[in-house]
Amino acid sequence: MKNRGVGYATIFYGTGYGNGFPDESRATAELREDGEIVVYVEVSDVGSGGISVMWQIATETLKIDKNLIKVMYDNTSFVKDSGTAAASRQTYNTGNAVYDACKKLRSNFNKGLSRSNDNCINKEEIKLLYKQMKEKGIPVKTEGYFKAETSQIDMETGEGNPYWPYTFGAQKVTIEVDDETGKVDIIEVIAVNDAGKIINPASSEGQAQGGVAMGIGYALMEEIEIEKGSIKNRNFSNYIIPTSKDVPHIDTYFVEEFEESGPYGAKGIGEPVMIPTAPAILNAIYDAVGVRMYSIPVTCDKLLLALKEKKGQIYN
């Protein structure tokens, strides 16, 4: 018999390294003689869309034709340290550094322009602007810097500012549990996230959906098996991850609460999106069959054993 259940979970997640650990990002913006602008920034894109986000921040700040802006990111000989693509920090931290560099360069543009111009300027105007700035001794290259303001927490008093800002999330998961086999099927997931102003909606939606898929694997399938210090399941034939058939329809929503300290109000969204999924699934299992699971993954055999114990079919 299949039993349907619904589970909810909410989370908050601190952006960046946190707890007073130095968390710095740097970027450089340069106007070139050929009429293009290059933003040099060390941003590792591991599927998070970081390169696109930096390009969007630069475009918005510089008010330049987007086709004239390039992001150079993959060579440490010309980019400065901006930290890792980890801790959901790149949009907030490194985005702030890009914003700082481009804001300074835009200010220099205004000094070099023969007229006030807050609109997008084209390639020919940029070439002329380069000459004017050089003649006036106005820098055509600017440096951006940002450091996250956190402090180490006092373990005795609990005082401190270990993270800033925080991303918030909530998920509702609907499942079906087959009480004869212990199989859990995910029917639907509704994911709501507050990551500040969303700079790239398509990328953020993909992040949210990918996070749910990872959370499903974490809750129901993925488990490293170790025997005498050696991993037994070393490949995807016996280390099971979700496939497209395991991932249900996912509705994603964003609460765009503007973060004053973020670039255009943005916060991090990388890791928080997967955290609510597993607890929501466990809560849904309890709602469906009245069994509270305290370890993951909840494989069929584990859940079936728990169901039999609940029915009193196993005796010590």
Residue 156 bears catalytic tag: no
**Taking the C-alpha atoms of 86, 90, 92 and 98 in order, what is their torsion angle to the nearest 10 degrees?**
160
How many other C-beta atoms can be found within 10 angstroms of the C-beta atom of residue 142?
19
Order of all β-strands in the sheet with 184-194: 2-14, 166-178, 184-194, 249-254
- The per-residue b/e assignment along 74-85, b for 16 or more CB within 10 angstroms, e otherwise, is eeeeebbebbeb
30, 36, 205, 271: which is the annotated catalytic residue? 271
**Taking the C-alpha atoms of 276, 280, 282 and 287 in order, what is their torsion angle to the nearest 10 degrees?**
170
What's at 152, amino acid-wise?
Answer: Q
Would you say 137 and 79 are in contact if contact means Cβ atoms under 8 Å apart? no
β-sheet bridge partners, residue 251: 190
The catalytic residues are 271
